Amino acid sequence: MSESASSDEAPTLVSQDAYITAIDVLKKDMGMEIIPEDQRPMYAIGKLVATLPLELVSGVRFADCETLTLISQLMQSVVDATGMMSLDTIVAIRAGADGNGGYGYEGDTNGASIADTAQHYTAAITYAQQNGLKEIELEVNRLVPLMPSTEQDAAE
């Protein structure tokens, strides 16, 4: 267990190269086409802090994608409650916010294996259940393709 980072610190973000590789691994495993490197858009990595009610924790599926653990599937109720999406990656799992930036439980899952991610996920759920909490907190990263602006399109 550790204290949460101050809100003044930069968000925890995964490596963009590791993220792209992980998505390619998952797409290959699913028999989907991988975007060739010379046709890929530019990307940004976004951060979302999602509150996941304990009654929905079984609606999240993980996939081991060599460089990262990705969320491979979500029940629609989880999407609706949290805003999380398939292909997001969880970088931190927390429970029991103390109101001062600290947590009763916090696990760093940035770049973690599927086993480590599952262990922190389970530990946060257990902590929440043992302390009468109704939710856990997931900090996720999302790979977001950047689209050219309309002004750029007009200039070309």
pLDDT digits (tens, 9 = 90+) for 134-149: 999 999 999 999 876 6
> What percentage of the chain exceeds 90 in pLDDT?
69
pLDDT(14) > 60:
yes
pLDDT digits (tens, 9 = 90+) for 96-138: 998 888 999 999 999 999 999 999 999 999 999 999 999 999 9
Q: Quickly state the pLDDT bin for 154 (edges 50, 70, 90).
A: very low
Strands (DSSP E) along the chain, which ranges? Answer: 42-53, 60-64, 69-74, 89-97, 103-108, 135-146
The CA distance from 115 to 66, in Å, is: 12
Angle at CA of residue 74, ends 54 and 104, nearest 5°? 35
- Report in angstroms the alpha-carbon separations of 30 from 17, 23, 53, 58, 110: 20, 11, 29, 22, 24
pLDDT(3) > 50:
no
On whether the CB atoms of residues 95 and 136 are closer than 8 A, the answer is yes
Query: Which residues are paired to 63 by β-bridges?
Result: 70
